[in-house]
């Protein structure tokens, strides 16, 4: 499965780089994360609960960073395993300064999925993955803004952990939206609406 995208952060490449190395921040940004800690200079371990459609369970895995070019780019390798299945992935992250305290993050890589997760369907996995990434970026945007404000005001930054309930609701909304956007579903809805109109006309004429 290919995973690609980009996001603009309101901060410098250094600030964004440091943000992604803060295990407390990353754990708070990913709902369902039970634990995340550094076990080496560029290696992290994490435990989190994952739900993709009808498949749910706990994952434990490692994240390894390599090919670092501070604060511009690095490679991220991920391996995770749990009752729902397993995943392995490698991706490249690039941080490009846009000027005016703005940094573009570009990411792209390949992910292999096996076990029960692989049985839920590529479309559902894509939708859930994009939803998780989008929500994580929204949380990180808030954290970065709070860090900047706290630094300017000379106080400790305060972080709000992402709500699993809100996360689940947003993922469900994205899944339904993707389902309804499918061409065959639009055709089916069109036929259904026509049938309803015909039934109304029949009833009104009888």
152 or 125: which carries more pLDDT confidence? 152
The yes-or-no verdict on residue 68 having pLDDT over 90 is yes
What is the reported pLDDT for 41?
85
User: How much of the chain, in percent, has pLDDT values that exceed 70?
Assistant: 68
Q: What whole-number distance in Å separates Cα of residue 166 and Cα of residue 47?
A: 20
Task: Indicate the domain borders of the chain.
Answer: 2-205
The yes-or-no verdict on residue 78 having pLDDT over 60 is yes
What is the reported pLDDT for 185?
40
186 or 54: which carries more pLDDT confidence? 54
Q: What is the pTM of this model?
A: 0.73
Average pLDDT (163-185) is 51
Q: What are 149's two structure tokens?
A: 């404000």
64 or 201: which carries more pLDDT confidence? 64
What is the reported pLDDT for 189?
42
The yes-or-no verdict on residue 200 having pLDDT over 80 is no
Confidence of residue 14 (pLDDT cuts 50, 70, 90): very high
Class of domain 2-205: alpha beta
Q: What whole-number distance in Å separates Cα of residue 182 and Cα of residue 175?
A: 11
CB 14 within 8 A of CB 146: no
Average pLDDT (103-122) is 82
Find the range with the poorest average confidence among 67-81, 93-107, 119-133: 119-133
The partner residues of 46 in beta bridges, in order of sequence, read: 36, 61
Confidence of residue 173 (pLDDT cuts 50, 70, 90): low
**Burial 82-101, CB ≥16 within 10 A → b, else e:** bebbbbebebebebebeeee
Confidence of residue 180 (pLDDT cuts 50, 70, 90): very low
Average pLDDT (33-51) is 84
């Amino acid at each position: 499965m290919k995973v690609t995208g980009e996001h603009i952060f309101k901060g410098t490449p250094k600030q964004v780089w440091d943000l992604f190395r803060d295990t407390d921040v990353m754990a708070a940004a990913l709902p369902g994360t039970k634990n995340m800690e550094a076990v080496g200079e560029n290696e992290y371990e994490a435990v989190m609960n994952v739900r993709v459609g009808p498949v749910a369970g706990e994952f434990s895995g490692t994240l390894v960073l390599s090919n670092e070019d501070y604060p511009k780019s690095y490679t991220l390798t991920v391996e995770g395993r749990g009752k729902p299945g397993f995943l392995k992935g490698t991706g490249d992250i690039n941080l490009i300064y846009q000027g005016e305290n703005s940094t573009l993050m570009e990411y792209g890589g390949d992910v292999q999925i096996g076990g029960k997760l692989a049985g839920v369907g590529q479309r559902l996995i894509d939708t859930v993955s994009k939803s998780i990434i989008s929500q994580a970026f929204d949380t990180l945007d808030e954290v970065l803004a709070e860090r900047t404000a706290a630094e300017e005001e000379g106080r400790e930054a305060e972080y709000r952990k992402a709500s699993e309930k809100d996360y689940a609701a947003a993922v469900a909304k994205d899944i339904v939206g993707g389902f309804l956007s499918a061409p065959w579903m639009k055709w089916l809805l069109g036929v259904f609406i026509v049938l309803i109109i015909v039934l109304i006309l029949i009833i009104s004429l009888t």
